[in-house]
A = this chain, B = another copy of it.
Amino acid sequence: MRDLTRHPELLSLNTATVRERWTLLQIIEGCARHGIRAIAPWRDQVGACGLEAAAKLIRTHGLRVNGYCRGGMFPAADLAGRAKAAEDNRRAVDEALALGAECLILVVGGLPPGSKDIAGARQQVRDGIAALLEYARPLGLKLAIEPLHPMYAADRACVNTLAQANDLCDALGVGVGVAVDIYHVWWDPALQTEIARAGRAGRILGFHVCDWLVPTTDLLLDRGMMGDGVIDIARIRGWVEAAGYGDCVEVEIFSAGNWWKRDPDEVLQVVRERYATVC
């Protein structure tokens, strides 16, 4: 297993971690100050900055963009909705390329409004990724399916296990892989097996960390800093590395009640420290 203290360059900041108090410009400058060499920005932040300005800033600071957040949200109630989602996803691919991003993260979407048909939503997701892949593959941009915790099955993503994501990748072929976010998958009894399976196929495109707090007071915005919860992060990183993954460890913390309220410079300091000591 890698000694992360010797690889500070592999720490990536998902910009959501400090999004409440900093703009993308401030985040990029903050990363420069703290020696963070990779980021995973969100579309709305890039939009607020302007795509070209963001791309230039990122180049100027020599940052890697290990992932772009996010495409997906495929299921819709009707064909017009699906077409709109498809178009928006192609734009996300274009933006990712403009930013020099290494993959587009897919949060695939949940049930369309009023629907109880999760099998149907899953079929829409499969069709949606297949279509997007036709667009992204010739452009050389990889798509990363991120399985989300089952508590988001209804409203955010109906791909809820790494097994499901692996099955999708098997079916869809070259150009699509997975992002392993421990917050979403840490509980899964099949996790080690499915990480190994993803690794054998060479399709682990990202490894995201934070922590599961006990108690968790909000389904979306109460993620913990690495080390403050119950996930054995180092063990899971060991599995990912044993499966051949040797790239970024991306920190992504949604925390309305705690980390989002703090001074982002303090947050980045803690992130760096925990990256080296806990992950």
Contact = CB atoms under 8 A, between A and B. Distances in A.
A187 B118 CA distance: 8
Interface of A: 111, 115-118, 122, 149-151, 153-155, 158, 160-161, 163-164, 186-189, 212, 214-217, 219, 229-232
Nearest to A119: B189
12 contacts: A111-B214, A111-B230, A116-B230, A116-B232, A117-B232, A118-B187, A118-B232, A149-B150, A150-B150, A150-B187, A151-B151, A153-B187
Tally of this chain's copies = 2
Nearest to A219: B216
A239 B150 CA distance: 20
Interface residues of A, dominant DSSP: loop
B212 A189 contact: no
B116 A189 contact: no
Contacts of A155: 214-215
A187 B160 contact: yes
A232 B158 CA distance: 15
A116 B278 CA distance: 13
A115 B214 CA distance: 11
Nearest to A115: B230
A121 to B, nearest CB: 10
A232 to B, nearest CB: 4
Contacts of A187: 118, 150, 153-154, 158, 160
B219 A154 contact: no
